[in-house]
Amino acid sequence: MDSKTLKLKNVPKGRPLAIIMAWLLAKPKQLKNYIDIYINLGFDVITIATSPWQLLWPTKGTQMIARDAVQFLENNPNYSQLCIHGFSVGAYQFSELMVIMSQDMERYKPVLDRFQCQVWDSAADITEIPIGIPYEDIPQSGNNSLYARKSNVPFDSCKSSALILVSENDLIGPTKSNLEVKNNWEPAGIKVTFKSWEKSGHVTHMIHHKEEYIGLLYKHLEENMLEQLALKARAKL
């Protein structure tokens, strides 16, 4: 990879890319369970992680991550099929990418058009994430404060079909707020598959409901990604 442009060498044209937006303090061993799913289906995978301090100091944290991620996507157009799979605070981090791209739609529309589907697991509103500091004490960054941005920023930019996975006993990424997302997206023309389990927990849906979780994910990929992925997904079930 070129350190300045973030352009990869020798990426086969048309290879799908899964972008995994990790939850806070996610361990590599935990993320591997999801990475392996995509690798086995023929995807390349990148993981984007956000630390607590990067969340607290957006101008030197989440916004810098977003700029690098957008640059990577723009400069690697051979990844013509993109899937975002985000967890918890990863939903906010993805919105930072959307903020950047929404500011210059003529430039970034080709990048946005490459997104074929979205998967949101336990997506959390910024005010619901327990990071040890009261919400009112979180530092602000002027008019561009991440905490002042609305959670519907990505809704206006990324139009790909979405799979939303939640549980009723998750206080961080609750069913209610995710249902509001669904209700905002659908009138905007975004197809949403919504699954809420009665009991599961924050970012533990695949642990407690593995067979159903993977089945929903494969079906979502079948409907929205390349034909060969559908064949591979069916073979896995």
- The superfamily in CATH containing domain 16-128+152-235 is Alpha/Beta hydrolase fold, catalytic domain (3.40.50.1820)
Secondary structure of the chain in HEC code, one letter for each residue: CCCCCCCCCCCCCCCEEEEEECCCCCCHHHHHHHHHHHHHCCCEEEEECCCHHHHHCHHHCHHHHHHHHHHHHHCCCCCCEEEEEEECCHHHHHHHHHHHHHCCHHHHHHHHCCEEEEEEECCCCHHHCCCCCCHHHCCCECECCCCCCCCCCHHHCCCCEEEEEEECCCCCCCHHHHHHHHHHHHHHCCCEEEEEECCCCCCCHHHHCHHHHHHHHHHHHHHHCCHHHHHHHHHHC
Residue 11 is predicted with a pLDDT of: 80
16 vs 6 pLDDT, higher one = 16
> Can you tell me the mean pLDDT for 210-231?
83
168 pLDDT exceeds 90?
A: yes
> What mean pLDDT, rounded, does the chain reach?
83
Domains of the chain, residue spans: 16-128+152-235
* Of 23-32, 79-88, 217-226, minimum mean pLDDT range: 217-226
